[in-house]
Structure 1
Amino acid sequence: MDVNIRGKNVGITDRFESYVESKTEKVAGLLPRAQSFEVRVARQSDRSPKNGDLVEITIIGPGPVIRAESAGGDKYTAFDIAYGRVLERIRRMKDRRKDRRGRGRVSLGDAAANDFDSVDITPAPLEVLESVATGSVPVMGEDAEEQYSPVVIRSKEFPAERFSVEDAVDQMELVGHDFFLFVEAGSDRPSVVYRRKGWNYGVISLAES
């Protein structure tokens, strides 16, 4: 597994490189087919103890990309936190695969027909689906209009990829996001899985009216 370390506004010393390489041995044991261990270190403008350096770790290889990032008072602290998150995501992925070993993949339609019992996923409440379909936003309290303030909405576009529901959950966990957009492989419906409490997840899909 190749190890690549890059710094932005911060120097990368031989000591730090040796430290990172010593940590990759555990990752190589957990993911023997991993091809690249990428580390990006950036010096943040805020030099407070909490937000000194930012480290992003990306593991590339066959299968989904695993990514985690963290800020710390220095690059060693930030790396250790991000590294711990990477290990946790690898373990969660392996636990989920072990839990469903021997079971066939479930399409979104089949999972919905059985109330998602087979994939540990809870469908979104009816009111959520209706608000998504109509574009309506609930008003919280009588003073909501007075408290309104403009917000910046960022727009991103990604190529559509087809996954089963369980594979989409794995992708979400490995990049550390709270939701993941995908096209359900069995029905070709645009769908999103999202994290609930613990090991519970939700799924929302769009159907033509």
Structure 2
Amino acid sequence: MDVGHFLYERVGFIRQLYMTSAATYIERKRLIDAGEAPFEPPYSEDGEPPFLVEWLEADDSLHVLGYACLSMLSDTMKVFFDAWQREARVRDDPSLDKVFKKNGFVQGYRALFEKSLGIRFADSKVDMLLLEQVVMARNRIQHQEYLGSNRPSHSQADLNRLHNPFFMDKQERSLLVREKKNGTSIWLMAPRVSVTGTQLLTVLKEVERFSTWMDKAMQKVGERRGKRLHEKP
């Protein structure tokens, strides 16, 4: 099975799905901001921006679309690791069950492949914490706690671990965080999970970079195994 090929196919599908589906909402926001038809500003003295409800609805829609794509990406990454485990004939290691359960499947597979195959994810030069944040954000998206919003907030546990979460609006961070002299942060309230087009495209590219590296790392594993078999008397 060409694991890398199918990873690229799925990531490419996610990319085109977002870009095609987002176009309508991006255009609606642009029309409202520009005051173009059918969103010409009516005369009003109440001071509220015209078509605010429609603008916020389009903005929320873009984030929810990003959530769907990020969830697909998280599942794709899980299937990607599963596929390589099967291809490399690596058995589950009960001693690593706690790593999977406590730290998530990215760190779990990192430990499994390093122990079983000598593959070190750190050698990829890919931002593995960013890939972990895909899974963390997906968990918040899939397990929302508040009915009154389409957008979930980061958990306190995630904020304690991540000084500056990637999937967060920079403006929200500037309004909600207070920096302490020792480098820690105090959050006035938990920021919402943000998945913009730029954020999504950035992480999609990083997943592709990791897949390219993984292909080469697994090829070396195959070469080592072949060499050992050839050297056997």
Q: For the superposition of Structure 1 and Structure 2, which TM-score range results when normalised by the shorter chain? A: under 0.3
Higher RCO (CA < 8 A, seq sep 6+): 2
Q: Which protein is richer in strand relative to its size?
A: 1
In our comparison, the structure showing a higher alpha carbon Rg is: 2
